[in-house]
Amino acid sequence: MNSPTLRTAVIGVTGYAGAELAHLLLQHPRFATTPPLFLGRLGEGESVALTSLHPQLSGLSNADDLTVSPFNWQQLQQEGIELLFLATPHEQSREYAPIALAHGIRVVDLSGAWRLQHDANRAIYKLTDADPAAASFLQTEAVYGSPELHGPAIAAARLVANPGCYATSIILALAPILRANLADLGCGIICDAKSGVSGAGKTPTANTHFMYAADNLSAYAVFGHRHTGEMLEQLHLDNAQIQFTPHLLPIPRGILSTIYVRLNQPTSIESIQSCFNDFYADSPMVRVRRSPMLPQIQHVVRTSFCDIGFQLSPDGKRLVIVSCLDNLLKGASSQAVQNMNLMAGWHESEGLL
């Protein structure tokens, strides 16, 4: 596909990631005259003005004239929708994606429903399928939507599974080192990651309530976070080779991941720098810092970039990598737009810089 525009729709625009996705699409140069169709999630009953849900979008191209309509497959067909974003819970995405594909509509799914190829990793989502055999076949077709790792496959895909936010920050930090076979995996890799509260979604919980999260820092889901499976599969590691511990920061958005790697031989700063620079030479949404500069959340918040930096111990054997991104953008919505751009035959950074 390589056309001047594309008929797109978003199901689930009411959440945090859905709102960011709407903002990006309304500013995307390809949609100035053909704005996306916005649909509510299942059970969200009446049409409402888009800007009544998200007043911050008022004034963007077409935004004040658009509504969020009740979910309806017939409307998608009538509107000639070619690509559908699913900003829906995992269970709904697991149900909706096969139906969309049967209607000839390509899918970018922002949930975890189609990210994991191994049953043991996917079990954490407790998904059920009306037709397990058909879902299993479709699962093998789903492409993990990391443009930096799988760009050509994404361009040809019918179903793209947008990566998780924590997973994106850690996979992008480690992929160059692991592909260059520089890590001593017998020593294990430690990933200490911290995220703003929006990473938990819009529905409040006891742990994301202001009185719990403010002036606090807490670890959670130790040995059991659902993004761990993505790291294992995409980095070709097993559980004994990586430890991921997420923490909740008392800030609205942003992720900082600090990753500790023991190298399998003494290595120079120049070699590590070249490893990252070469790996991401054609990746416009990854910014590699020159050591010893390290990225910070304030450098990436409300941008579509993942920033990566590192420092190396004096003996050249211990590497600390810091990776930062905005969990609602590069960790969700802007990565989804990157994937759409590739699927449409456009430059992956279009509408994001």
The residue from 165, 191, 306, 324 that is catalytic is 165
Segment (H or E) for 23: helix 16-27
**Is 165 assigned a catalytic role?**
yes
Beta bridge partners of 306: 286, 325
Instruction: Let me know: does 11 contact 84? Beta carbons within 8 Å.
Output: yes
Q: How far is CA 285 from the centre of its chain?
A: 13
Q: Which of 165, 159, 164 is nearest to 84 (CA)?
A: 159
Q: How many angstroms separate the CA atoms of 149 and 280, rounded?
A: 10
What angle (nearest 5°) sits at the alpha carbon of residue 190, between those of residues 189 and 195?
135
In the chain, the amino acid numbered 108 is: V
Q: How many angstroms separate the CA atoms of 37 and 67, rounded?
A: 8
Q: Which of 165, 174, 83, 159 is nearest to 117 (CA)?
A: 159
- 338 by Cβ neighbours in 10 Å (0-12 / 13-18 / 19+) ranks as buried
Sign of torsion over alpha carbons 7, 286, 281, 188 = negative
For residues 345, 347, 351 and 352, what is the CA-based torsion angle, rounded to 10 degrees? Answer: 130
Segment (H or E) for 274: helix 269-279
Beta bridge partners of 154: none
Active site positions, annotated: 165
